[in-house]
Amino acid sequence: MLLSKSFIPILKNNPSEAKIKSHQLMLRVGMIKQASAGIYSWLPLGFKVMKKIEAIVRQEQNKIGAQEILMPTIQSSEIWKESGRYDDYGEEMLRIKDRQNREMLYGPTNEEQVTEIFRSSFKSYKSLPQLLYHIQWKFRDEIRPRFGIMRGREFYMKDAYSFDVTDEEAFYSYNKFFLSYLRTFKRLSLTAIPMAADTGPIGGNLSHEFIILADTGESKIFTDKRIFDLTSEGTNLEKSSLEEMRKKYEQFYSVTDEKFNKDEFEKMVLEENRLITKGIEVGHIFYFGDKYSKAMDTAVDLPGGKKDFVKMGSYGIGVSRLVGAIIEAKYDDKNEIMKWPLSVAPYDIALIPMINKNDNSALEKANNINSVLIKNNIEAIIDDTDENYSSKIKKMNLIGAPYQIVIGKKSEGDLLEFKEADGETQNLSLDKIIKLITKQKAPN
């Protein structure tokens, strides 16, 4: 892709209205454009990153046996009245009426909708468990939308729902999603810590937030530093393996401020292991038993002619929010360098030819290199503008391709000036560069 033909409207300076790194960068490099308060258009650069995140989220959901569906953005108020949440949810819910004067709403979440789908489709315990998920736009009418897509009103979200016969089987489903989230965030090069959390308007008595550390985070966290040394490596989908994995994480005190207890914290965590800081929520999972199934009369037939309400959980990941979260974790605002994880980078590598008005050889060489990269499934962006070296490097550092090749006077013969965006220059052949990038692109 040629930069001159790309829709990447880069600004010279950070917009004054943006207060945190992710909002600043996303506006500055034209990843998003505000349509109204808390609502954004996603432009090509930002959309590419978000769709790559979505693909990883989908792959990891499929690995645990979750099945993808797609529910509508607009829901009937009747199912929300049935569950008892229509009046309780508050002003964050956008309520509308259609031309028949029927009360509708723009879905802030989908517990009611998916429960209605399930109860009309399954009647026997033999069909369980069922793990269903979709990736869809949501709307919550935040009173003070801020920080760009980090606290917007419209957002893109993966939400999943589990249906089981017993609490024991439901905890098994819960643990599958627990593992799936750890794996998902690892593939995004994020260290996300599961923390005991409040269930909020979703309800239930078991919940974990997945938090990444960030000074700009809205969640205050209290944790034992040793939890950062844990790994989910070796965990499989067997029930005992998943139970052991979750216990391994839960042995360390790690909570958000809603669940914080000072006495417990000081009793359970030695002073040298205590960490009090801020973080960004990137995922949230809940177990709420029969809260919705009972209210909406969603039961299945059991052996012996009995019936029982299904046990449910819900599991959310903010796909659009993750774009901002990765920026908060990875952007060096002091040096103005964004280094996207290769798994979600808009481009794998930037080709930076030093163009002379009277000599197109550098651009020709960049195009030839790009042809070879395409054959090896490596996506490049070529800065074909006639700007000077420092301007080109600055632009590409903001766009954030993890690797760069500079094609100038030092690029003679088979060796190329190659470097990571924030690293030292090496002189490598194109074959070695391709092998290096291909190896790094391989999924974990």
Domain with residue 117: its CATH number is 3.30.930.10
CATH number, domain containing residue 401: 3.40.50.800
In terms of domains, do 66 and 191 share one?
yes
Pick the last residue of a domain from 271, 298, 332.
Answer: 332
Calculate ∠ Cα 209-214-216, nearest 5°: 105
Cα separation values, 388 from 221, 247, 294, 384, 401, Å: 45, 56, 67, 11, 19
Is there a contact between 208 and 180 (Cβ–Cβ < 8 Å)? no
Cα separation, 172 vs 111, whole angstroms: 19
Dump pLDDT digits (tens) for 182-195: 999 999 999 999 99
Any domain includes 339? no
Dump pLDDT digits (tens) for 116-134: 999 999 999 999 999 999 9
Is there a contact between 242 and 179 (Cβ–Cβ < 8 Å)? yes
Dump pLDDT digits (tens) for 316-360: 999 999 999 999 999 998 999 999 999 999 999 999 998 877 778
In terms of domains, do 273 and 354 share one?
no
DSSP code at position 436: H
Confidence band (pLDDT; 50, 70, 90) for 218? confident
Tokens 């790559």, located at residue: 52
Dump pLDDT digits (tens) for 62-110: 999 999 999 999 999 999 999 999 998 989 999 999 999 999 999 999 9
Nearest to 281 by CA among 221, 347, 358: 221
Contacts for 84 with CB less than 8 Å, ≥ 6 apart: 295
Any domain includes 167? yes
Cα separation, 362 vs 214, whole angstroms: 41
pLDDT, residue 172, reads: 97
pLDDT above 60 (res 170): yes
| Mean pLDDT across 311-320 | 97
Any domain includes 1? no
Confidence band (pLDDT; 50, 70, 90) for 144? confident
pLDDT above 80 (res 267): yes
In terms of domains, do 188 and 298 share one?
yes
274's tokens: 């205590």
Any domain includes 15? no
Pick the last residue of a domain from 332, 359, 378.
Answer: 332
Confidence band (pLDDT; 50, 70, 90) for 146? confident
Any domain includes 8? no
Tokens 């000081």, located at residue: 266
Any domain includes 341? no
pLDDT, residue 204, reads: 60
pLDDT above 80 (res 297): yes
In terms of domains, do 183 and 311 share one?
yes
Per cent of the chain over pLDDT 90 is: 84
pLDDT above 80 (res 255): yes
Any domain includes 338? no
In terms of domains, do 303 and 359 share one?
no
Cα separation, 107 vs 285, whole angstroms: 18
In terms of domains, do 25 and 70 share one?
yes
In terms of domains, do 152 and 79 share one?
yes
Confidence band (pLDDT; 50, 70, 90) for 384? very high
267's tokens: 């009793």
Tokens 């692109």, located at residue: 441
Tokens 């470097």, located at residue: 419
In terms of domains, do 300 and 417 share one?
no
Confidence band (pLDDT; 50, 70, 90) for 435? very high
Calculate ∠ Cα 135-85-291, nearest 5°: 80
b or e along 97-135 (b: 16 or more beta carbons within 10 Å of the residue's beta carbon)? eeeeeeebbbbbbbbbbbbbbbbeebeebeebbbbbbbb
Per cent of the chain over pLDDT 70 is: 97
Number of domains in the chain: 2
pLDDT, residue 154, reads: 97
Q: Containing H/E element for 265?
A: helix 262-268
Tokens 């994480």, located at residue: 249
Any domain includes 16? no
pLDDT, residue 444, reads: 60
Mean pLDDT of the chain: 93
**For residue 426, is it left (φ>0), alpha (ψ between -120 and 50) or beta?**
beta
| Mean pLDDT across 290-305 | 94
In terms of domains, do 258 and 378 share one?
no
Dump pLDDT digits (tens) for 200-210: 665 567 899 99
In terms of domains, do 95 and 119 share one?
yes
197's tokens: 């959390």
In terms of domains, do 308 and 369 share one?
no
100 HSE (CA, 13 A, CB side): 4
DSSP code at position 90: -
Helix residue ranges per DSSP H, 376-421: 389-399
pLDDT above 80 (res 245): yes
Dump pLDDT digits (tens) for 34-49: 999 999 999 999 999 9
Pick the last residue of a domain from 305, 332, 359.
Answer: 332
Is there a contact between 45 and 27 (Cβ–Cβ < 8 Å)? no
In terms of domains, do 246 and 372 share one?
no
Is there a contact between 277 and 221 (Cβ–Cβ < 8 Å)? yes
Q: Find the domain containing 430 and state its range.
A: 347-441
**For residue 187, is it left (φ>0), alpha (ψ between -120 and 50) or beta?**
alpha
Cα separation, 136 vs 156, whole angstroms: 6
Nearest to 406 by CA among 29, 334, 397, 398: 397
